[in-house]
Amino acid sequence: MTPMAETVTTPSFLVSLAPLLREWLPRQRWFAGKGRPVTGFTPVAATELLPPDGRLGLYHLLLRVHQPSALGAEPHPGDCYQLLIGVREALPPRLAPALIGHVTDGPLAGRTVYEALYDPRPAEVLLEALRTQARIGGLRFERDPHQEIREGLVARLMTAEQSNSSVVYGDTFILKLLRRVVPGVNPDLEIPLALAREGCPRVPSPTAWLHAEIDAESYVLAVLQPFVSGASDGWELALRELAKGEDFAAEARALGRATAEVHTALARALPTVTLGHVQLQALSDGMTERLAAAVQAVPGLRPYEGGLRSAYRALAGLAVEGQTWTAQRIHGDLHLGQCLRSPSGAWSLIDFEGEPARPPAERRLPQPPVRDIAGMLRSFDYAAHTVSPPAPDWARVCRAAYCSGYAEVAGRDPRTDAVLLRAFETDKAVYEVVYEARHRPDWLPVPLSAIRRLAA
């Protein structure tokens, strides 16, 4: 691999890119600050991976993006994003979708910059660095010493819309490059490593990972895991079976068993806690606060606010009565799209980053496992609304089968915790309403139909 430089310190380097990035960033699916202008950038780290004086240059950037705070919100220092910027004289037609722009001044004047993950060569540079456990500036490429990465694997970017970016290498590995990054432990690496130590087969074991050490803080930037070749994600599979009018109950039951296996392994691998009166009251209060904010953001929720609050009051009532629940580390954002079914029929769970909208520290808190169950139940409901007319009976059968499968392994049916399950499902549906109103208004009727049911 071409020798790699240390950190890039020339101020004009970022200055020359800023006008292009200001226009390009808000158009990316993974950019969280949509709807607000980008007002500036602060470099957190910039590392040259390939020198720009050849046919191809490559930079790894961590940029803090500044935007005006929402009305009434506390001032925010700006989100930090990870970018891989390629530099060429001109882009070949196959890379046209990756164009960021043409640089007019500074050290890259006259060159074209682009999203480098579209280009196999830069993506292969990352894999080679992971294979050799390279140290480049503040970047640390780590590999499980018991796993090997062979040379010559061809890279291809997965183009499905998601909050991060994924590259597949020769149907052998998949690299998840995190886009919005924060310092500290990232559950997307922490949990799969913990499950690997437990020998849990339901989550692919990390092969390698990238992190950065910057100003005494560590940032997890990417995770490489085995690629399940030929697998279908649960969402795609459910939609196919639904469109054909096929029964999905057996798959839902198997997925419930897989979820319970992961929860059981996590309870062994990482600490558990007991949620008593104080914690349950705080849980109820947090849900109530999120509902109040959601009603302000989406006034269409207002007619249902009283009924939705009753779910949270019921949870608070159990807290007063002295009810307790065990909490543990969970997936945190479980839905059909976070599950893979292999050609042999085995289910795996992926993407343990948690809900992107929640603060990182909150995502790592122990939670009742039923929160994951609620997320999956909502996902079956979403799938049932992809056909016309919607198929609520299909969703009900799948929901019941999933809970039954979970009970077969866990020894406890999540439906026995009806108050807690309703509270979490309500909280999830409220989150969905706000998300769809902001990003996919055509989908808004789906969570609103659940809101009407849950508020009744």
Beta carbons of 111 and 56 less than 8 angstroms apart: no
Tally Cβ neighbours within 10 Å of residue 78: 19
> Rounded to whole angstroms, how far apart are CA atoms 76 and 140?
28
Q: Please report the pLDDT score of residue 3 as a whole number.
A: 40
Question: Before 52, cis peptide (omega within 30)?
Answer: no
Q: What angle do CA 246, 252, 432 make, to 5 degrees?
A: 100
> Rounded to whole angstroms, how far apart are CA atoms 327 and 34?
34
| Two structure tokens written together for 77 | 């220092």
> Rounded to whole angstroms, how far apart are CA atoms 313 and 330?
24
Q: Where are the domains of the chain?
A: 11-226, 232-455
Beta carbons of 139 and 132 less than 8 angstroms apart: no
SS3 56: coil
Q: Please report the pLDDT score of residue 71 as a whole number.
A: 65
Strand partners, 157: 167
Taking CA atoms, 446 is separated from 244, 443, 450, in Å, by 21, 6, 7
From the list 193, 190, 192, 215, the residue with the least C-alpha distance to 80 is 215
DSSP code for 236: H
Q: Please report the pLDDT score of residue 181 as a whole number.
A: 95
> Rounded to whole angstroms, how far apart are CA atoms 143 and 134?
10
SS3 329: coil
DSSP for 286-318 reads HHHHHHHHHHHH-GGGGGGHHHHHHHHHHHHHH
For the domain covering 232-455, report its CATH number. 3.90.1200.10
Residues in the chain: 456
DSSP for 86-98 reads EEESS--GGGGGG
Q: Please list the alpha-helical segments (H only) found in 350-442.
A: 360-363, 370-384, 392-410, 418-439
Per-block mean pLDDT, blocks of 10 residues, the chain (456 long): 49 86 95 90 93 90 91 79 97 97 94 97 97 96 96 92 91 96 95 97 97 93 95 96 94 99 98 96 97 97 98 95 96 97 96 85 94 98 95 97 99 97 98 93 96 96
Which element (helix H / strand E) includes 64? strand 57-66
> Rounded to whole angstroms, how far apart are CA atoms 363 and 344?
32
From the list 204, 205, 206, 198, the residue with the least C-alpha distance to 266 is 198
Q: Please report the pLDDT score of residue 8 as a whole number.
A: 58
> Rounded to whole angstroms, how far apart are CA atoms 164 and 178?
5
From the list 314, 306, 420, the residue with the least C-alpha distance to 372 is 420
pTM: 0.91
Q: Please report the pLDDT score of residue 9 as a whole number.
A: 53
Q: Please report the pLDDT score of residue 34 as a whole number.
A: 84
Cα Rg of the chain (Å, integer): 23
From the list 266, 243, 274, 238, the residue with the least C-alpha distance to 376 is 238
Q: Please report the pLDDT score of residue 2 as a whole number.
A: 41
Taking CA atoms, 18 is separated from 14, 101, 110, in Å, by 6, 11, 15
In the sheet where 165-169 sits, what is the strand order? Answer: 135-136, 139-143, 208-214, 217-226, 173-177, 165-169, 155-158
Q: Please report the pLDDT score of residue 48 as a whole number.
A: 93
Q: Please report the pLDDT score of residue 395 as a whole number.
A: 97
Cα-flanking dihedrals φ and ψ of residue 233, to 5°?
Answer: -75, 155
> Rounded to whole angstroms, how far apart are CA atoms 266 and 444?
34
The distance of Cα 3 from the centroid of its chain, to the nearest Å, equals 33
With the CA atoms of 355, 361, 364 and 365 taken in that order, what torsion angle do they form, in degrees rounded to the nearest 10? -110
Q: Please report the pLDDT score of residue 69 as a whole number.
A: 80
Q: Please report the pLDDT score of residue 72 as a whole number.
A: 62
